[in-house]
Structure 1
């Protein structure tokens, strides 16, 4: 279970998150919506523990452990994994080697070759991680790494952005498999997914949706209903909800 209490986060001395509280029970998948600049990626990065994102107050609890100020690699060992919106290239490190390292950190039984086959990445295993990869190949590379890690909490930052429809279908089905996976250490996999397009909703069983605006979660409910409201009316009506939280 992930529990976030009144989280405030700064990036470069500017406050981005202004009191976010969120609970994702064991085995649930939640969807995060919000306009550009609302703090969605900041929330994901803060959960993952990247040092650029300075937590000034609040708490992040994962499976009963306070991880608020825990280093990123320790969070990964606990079972938090993330697909980044714009993953970096890693020169000098082959995808096969990185996958083996990730597998060893969590001591999983992941079949790297089989996952690479499913993701059409067999020829990429001998290449430097993400170097010269297309947008879709980068996303598939990130998914391969997550499959090797077998995290109990999956963070996906706009998994369908920058990829074509064929890749969306492949990614969507693999993400569905990742989130549906078997119990890991007596826990089911949970997920938090950021989306703008809503395509991912066709593949995952979303338990709940949230709208983040100006660093605050202004409303929560059915992910499908929230997305339909946004699709038809944009985030305009959410401004009223935001005023109610101030």
Structure 2
């Protein structure tokens, strides 16, 4: 198992947000996390990353068999956890090309790996664009593509994607999906894949382009349903998330 979350209870500013979450993601698996606003999706996401304001009251997070519950965000990233944020901040004075060098593990005075330039080209970025400050003046689509390019440079084992299809037009979704599939090794046979992913999405549109094996519904701080993504999405479309809640309570 690549990621194991056992009985996770989390508080933010003294308020309990997650209330006993269990989640298990193996190598080669892509999971999708669904739920309405306020369900706790972002809290789970940021707790896995180790943001200090998200206090783990009970439970544990294991990554590659090691307890990372008390590790900081940098230590988790070094172990192989990567993330694409829904609304990443602009970083004035830091060029995208320099951030890509850092993500790929080389020094600023070294040349960027040619394969990163190839990934940039696939994501519709030219060399001049890479010299711009990170996310400063970027369009929504450019920010999304920049986040994926950074993940490609980092090459993590576990990839978390927060609303990758939010506010993105069809052309950009298709471009993003192609590279997300590259990150998740979808071009390899399932038995040969070593990476895993967790996608947070409201509408599930990205799943038309990126296949997920398992979907989870998070409501009121607990995972109330897990199963086939197509079936769960169809039930949500018919009955809304309230249908999932009624099913869980019966």
Question: Considering the TM-score relative to the shorter chain, is it more than 0.5?
Answer: yes
Runs of 4 or more consecutive aligned structure 1 residues displaced over 6 Å after TM superposition: none
The Cα shift of 1:112 comes to: 2.0
Residue 243 (structure 1) aligns with: 249
Residue 123 (structure 2) aligns with: 119
Residue 148 (structure 1) aligns with: 153
The yes-or-no answer on 1:202 pairing with 2:203 is no
Distance change >3 Å, CA 110–CA 201, structure 1 → 2? farther
Q: Deviations over 1:50-90 (max 9, x none)?
A: 12211111100000111011110111111100011111111
Q: Relative to structure 2, which stretch is displaced further, 169-178 or 235-244?
A: 235-244
Matches within 5 A, 1:40-119: 40-104=41-105, 111-119=115-123
Residue 219 (structure 2) aligns with: 213
Matches within 5 A, 1:217-236: 217-236=223-242
Contact conserved, 1:213 with 1:242, CA < 8 A, in 2?
A: no
Task: Give me the whole-angstrom Cα distance separating, in 1, the residues matched to 2:133 and 2:174.
Answer: 25
Contact conserved, 2:47 with 2:54, CA < 8 A, in 1?
A: yes
Distance change >3 Å, CA 139–CA 8, structure 1 → 2? same
Task: Give me the whole-angstrom Cα distance separating, in 2, the residues matched to 1:35 and 1:81.
Answer: 24
Contact conserved, 2:158 with 2:197, CA < 8 A, in 1?
A: yes
The TM-score normalised by the length of structure 1 is 0.93
Residue 13 (structure 1) aligns with: 14
For residue 237 of structure 1, give the secondary structure of its aligned residue in structure 2: helix
Task: Give me the whole-angstrom Cα distance separating, in 2, the residues matched to 1:203 and 1:24.
Answer: 20
Matches within 5 A, 1:158-169: 158-169=163-174
Gaps of 5+ in 1: none
Q: Relative to structure 2, which stretch is displaced further, 61-70 or 111-120?
A: 111-120
Q: How many pairs were matched up?
A: 240
Which of 174, 181, 184 matches 2:179? Answer: 174
Which of 117, 124, 129 matches 2:134? Answer: 129
Gaps of 5+ in 2: 107-111
The Cα shift of 1:241 comes to: 3.7
Q: Relative to structure 2, which stretch is displaced further, 28-37 or 45-54?
A: 45-54
The Cα shift of 1:110 comes to: 7.2
Residue 191 (structure 1) aligns with: 197
The Cα shift of 1:45 comes to: 0.7
